[in-house]
Amino acid sequence: MDTKRKDMKMSIRILLALLLALFTFHSSLLTSVYADRIKDIAKFEGVRDNQLIGYGVVVGLDSSGDKGKSTIESISNMLKRMGVTIDSDAFKSKSLASVIITATLPPFAKPGMKIDALVSTIGDASSLQGGTLLLTPLKGPDGEVYGLAQGPVSIGGFSAEGVGALAQKNHPTAGKVPEGITIEREPLFTLGKGDEIRLFLKKADFATADKISSRINEAFKGEYAFATDPSSVKVAVPSMYRDNFVGLIGRIEELDVEVDMAAKVVINERTGTIVIGSNVRIAPVAIAHGSLAIEINELPEVSQPLPFSPKNSATVVVPRTSVSVMEQKASLIPVSGITLGQVVRGLNALGVTPRDLISILQALKSAGALRAELEII
């Protein structure tokens, strides 16, 4: 009996453990669906990218390089620094191309790290296929050299042409040198100011900024954070994190916050794309929408003279135009909704195309029935 009781108690404990694990998993799943991590909606002050730029030369092209003399002058000056002198007027080559190299220096980049380089022609070169970028210094906005770029250029395509035909894939005058930049200097940055740090929201919103500050105060059990404006939150560094900014930032970034979104409808008239936000509402309204189609066909006929007709008879083209008009019948359909699903079902009931739906949404906005911002891009 004692053995059976022990087995029963063990089974109950295992069942309770499984139920607890299932509840924890379900709760985390709900949190991930309805909330975002702070690291996904905001950035800390000082954590930012920096842009690099440089002028270089690509060599080894198959007669697809620049045709002017500017690139020749660049090569001539570079060879002089290497102890080789050439006559730039007598030197002719179509295997060279002048390029601009750009790159994005990530935050906290350290010397020796490698990043990708973007290479784009600035001359009349037709393709960078098969070329190699020569050693090029890359400078930041302050004029200091932060990286050196060199390596084979990958354009991810090809370009081939003959006298009467051309075959091309992707853009052959721009390419990338994967991990072609070696970082030589660490950019200066300031993480926080003394005993406080600031969070910058990627999209300014009063409600979201307030929720972030409340969530941080809840996690650290104190009044450490407060929103100074809709795009920034100031956080006082707790005493236990004065010498551990990385640990503080890591813990804050992992916190989940429910993001408040403004009601907005975005329309792209060029492609017929419509995006409706989850907070969009439509006041009770009746909509009737119909379309008018007019078709015009030109079917000219030729009138040929009959046999033994007078000499002044001639062939005449007789115009014949056919016009047909078709107007779709439309009836009033009531549309309203307090959730996105109801709004979509109400608009789908009209059975219209995206182009027609754009006109309907614009009319709803003009009538004051669309409870959302209408943005046309």
Domain boundaries, the chain: 50-183, 192-257, 264-305+317-376
Could you give the angle at which helices 206-220 and 245-253 cross, rounded to 10 degrees?
120
> Which one, of 196, 153, 146, 209, lies nearest residue 177 by Cα?
153
Would the CA dihedral through 222, 228, 230, 233 be positive or negative? negative
Spatial neighbors of 211 by CB under 8 A, at least 6 apart, are 257, 258, 259, 260
CATH 2.40.480 at 192-257, yes or no: no
Q: Write out pLDDT tens, residues 296-336.
A: 566 777 777 777 677 777 777 777 766 665 656 655 566 66
CA distance 282 to 105: 46
The confidence score (pLDDT) of residue 68 equals: 74
The confidence score (pLDDT) of residue 12 equals: 52
Does this model's pTM top 0.85? My answer is no
- Beta bridge partners, 51, equal 104
Check residue 44 and give left, alpha or beta (phi > 0: left; psi -120 to 50: alpha): beta
Which residue positions in the chain have pLDDT lower than 70? 1-34, 88-90, 157-169, 192, 289-298, 308, 321-341, 347, 350
The confidence score (pLDDT) of residue 152 equals: 95
The confidence score (pLDDT) of residue 330 equals: 58
Q: Count CB-CB contacts under 10 A for residue 237.
A: 17
The confidence score (pLDDT) of residue 10 equals: 57
Q: Write out pLDDT tens, residues 70-116.
A: 777 777 777 777 777 777 666 777 889 999 999 999 988 999 999 99
Q: Count CB-CB contacts under 10 A for residue 247.
A: 11
CA distance 371 to 366: 11
